[in-house]
């Protein structure tokens, strides 16, 4: 069988995905795209101290082509107090894994994640871990929607 006639499932498993990260001082939310780069799915929320280990596990499970990290700009579009911390984190991730990193405007991602939780009948104040990974999915979905598939392999 030639490469052109591989089963669809095999081709999909070979496609690279994009990891989305919502960086926080205590917890970091993680999400991942589907192989076609259309849908972002929440994956996990990890303690900041364990994020490198968790990203390594995700790299073993999925082929990643890029990591999108939420960039905390102020509502006026200027850098806020957390932007430098996120920039340092992005440099660490890029140096550690050698994967392309892109910072993506995360304004209102947590508010949107909390709205999603409320709409699902969940308390965002009691389930902060879920809010963080949903916020990561909101950031990644915003990126995927804006790019309209231009990052496809």
Q: In whole angstroms, what is the distance from residue 22 CA to residue 68 CA?
A: 9
32 to each of 2, 39, 45, 112, how far by Cα in Å? 30, 8, 12, 18
DSSP H helix total and E strand total for the chain: 5, 5
Q: What is the pTM of this model?
A: 0.80
CA distance linking residue 65 with residue 59, whole number of Å: 10
pLDDT score of 112: 73
Place of tokens 């030639």: 2
Residue 125 lies in a domain: yes
Instruction: Give tens-digit pLDDT for 78-136.
Output: 888 889 999 999 999 999 999 999 999 887 677 677 777 677 776 655 667 788 899 99
pLDDT in tens, 2-56: 445 444 444 444 579 999 999 998 999 999 999 999 999 999 999 999 999 999 9
- Domain with residue 112: its CATH number is 3.30.420.140
Q: Is residue 153 part of a domain?
A: no
**Within-domain flag for 1:** no
76 is a domain residue? yes
Q: Which domain holds residue 113?
A: 8-147
> What is the side-by-side strand order in the sheet with 27-33?
40-47, 27-33, 17-22, 64-71, 100-105
**pLDDT confidence of residue 14:** 58
Pinpoint the alpha helices (H) of 28-124.
51-61, 83-97, 109-119
Q: How far apart are the first and last CA of the chain?
A: 22
pLDDT band at 57 (very low <50, low <70, confident <90, very high): very high
Provide the number of structural domains found in the chain: 1
Domain-embedded: residue 127: yes
């Amino acid at each position: 069988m030639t490469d052109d006639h591989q089963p669809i499932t095999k081709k999909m498993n070979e496609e690279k995905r994009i990891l989305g990260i919502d960086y926080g001082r205590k917890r970091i939310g993680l999400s991942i795209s589907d192989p076609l780069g259309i849908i972002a799915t929440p994956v996990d929320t990890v303690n900041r101290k364990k994020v490198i280990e968790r990203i390594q596990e995700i790299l073993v499970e999925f082929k990643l082509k890029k990591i999108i990290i939420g960039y905390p700009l102020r509502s006026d579009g200027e850098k806020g107090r957390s932007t430098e911390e996120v920039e340092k984190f992005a440099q660490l991730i890029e140096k550690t894994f050698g994967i392309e990193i892109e910072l993506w405007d995360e304004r209102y991602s947590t508010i949107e994640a909390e709205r999603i939780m409320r709409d699902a009948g969940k308390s965002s104040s009691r389930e902060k871990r879920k809010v963080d990974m949903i916020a990561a999915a909101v950031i990644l979905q915003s990126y995927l929607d804006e790019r309209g598939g231009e990052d496809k392999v």
